[in-house]
């Protein structure tokens, strides 16, 4: 998966596009030609990325999908960097948001993790995008407000709430990328993990000496038998999420005076 970064384009132009004129009144004498819309451009770009990944996404390709010449597209969006911010923010805006009011905090936080896991399942390219400088559009802000509500009222400081959310989302994104890598490995090798290990078992048995690597061989064999492979994305997500929640529990307990 390609690694792209948000907020790598013209920040002023990006914010104007993200907030669709909320930052300044529209000038009727300037702007894109009639016939298309920014939303249509974003939808076409997202469809390409969903089907083929970000490597396939170019301004020329989007223009072709929309039936216009590339120069027409540039009257709507300055370039791919700004387009990526618009795509991600639109994906955030369209995320289903679970109403977990009144539920225990672990269920609320789990719902946030599941929502982001589903986002990456719908848009696999999003897991490969670095958001250390988030686009700060309306979709991003609505997402942030919604997700913080899962941690509000637990006795955490504002900084701790932000830290917990950032840690949770980083975990979900990392597991989504690992799952995508696992799927890509199966496609590239034309065999699943179990088939790959069986095919390489004779060679591995010659080099993995139990006398030299006793713990590694024992634990590796146990994990492989339990998961059917060296890495099981679903198990890694479920196990990791519980450990994240356990770590949050220590902060919550301290914040409540425990």
SS3 223: helix
pLDDT band at 252 (very low <50, low <70, confident <90, very high): very high
pLDDT of residue 39: 96
Q: Give residues with Cβ within 8 angstroms of 232, minimum separation 6.
A: none
User: 190-220: per-residue pLDDT in tens?
Assistant: 777 777 667 767 777 777 788 888 898 888 8
pLDDT of residue 197: 66
CATH of domain 105-255: 1.10.357.10
Please say whether the beta carbons of 193 and 228 come within 8 A: yes
Q: Where are the domains of the chain?
A: 4-93, 105-255
User: 51-68: per-residue pLDDT in tens?
Assistant: 999 999 999 999 999 999
| Domain formed by 4-93, architecture | Orthogonal Bundle (1.10)
pLDDT of 47 above 80 = yes
Closest CA to 165 of 153, 175, 151: 151
């Amino acid at each position: 998966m390609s690694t792209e970064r948000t907020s790598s384009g013209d920040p002023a132009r990006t914010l104007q596009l993200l907030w669709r004129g909320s930052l300044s009144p529209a000038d009727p004498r300037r702007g894109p030609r009639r016939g298309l819309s920014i939303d249509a451009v974003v939808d076409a770009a997202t469809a390409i990325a969903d089907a083929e990944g970000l490597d396939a996404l170019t301004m020329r390709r989007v223009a072709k999908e929309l039936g216009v010449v590339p120069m027409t597209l540039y009257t709507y969006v300055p370039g791919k960097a700004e387009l990526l911010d618009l795509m991600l923010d639109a994906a955030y805006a369209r995320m289903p948001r679970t109403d977990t009011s009144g539920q225990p905090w672990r269920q609320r936080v789990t719902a946030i993790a599941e929502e982001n896991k589903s986002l990456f399942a719908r848009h696999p390219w999003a897991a490969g995008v670095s958001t250390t400088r988030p686009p700060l559009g309306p979709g991003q802000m609505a997402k942030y407000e919604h997700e913080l509500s899962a941690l509000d009222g637990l006795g955490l400081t504002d900084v701790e709430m932000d830290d917990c959310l950032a840690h949770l989302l980083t975990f979900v994104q990392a597991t989504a990328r690992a799952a995508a890598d696992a799927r890509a490995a199966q496609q590239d090798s034309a065999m699943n993990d179990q088939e790959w290990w069986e095919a390489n078992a004779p060679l591995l048995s010659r080099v993995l000496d139990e006398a030299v690597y006793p713990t590694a061989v024992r634990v590796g064999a146990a994990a492989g038998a339990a998961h059917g492979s060296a890495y099981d994305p679903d198990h890694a997500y479920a196990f990791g999420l519980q450990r994240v929640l356990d770590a949050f529990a220590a902060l919550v307990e301290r914040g409540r005076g425990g």
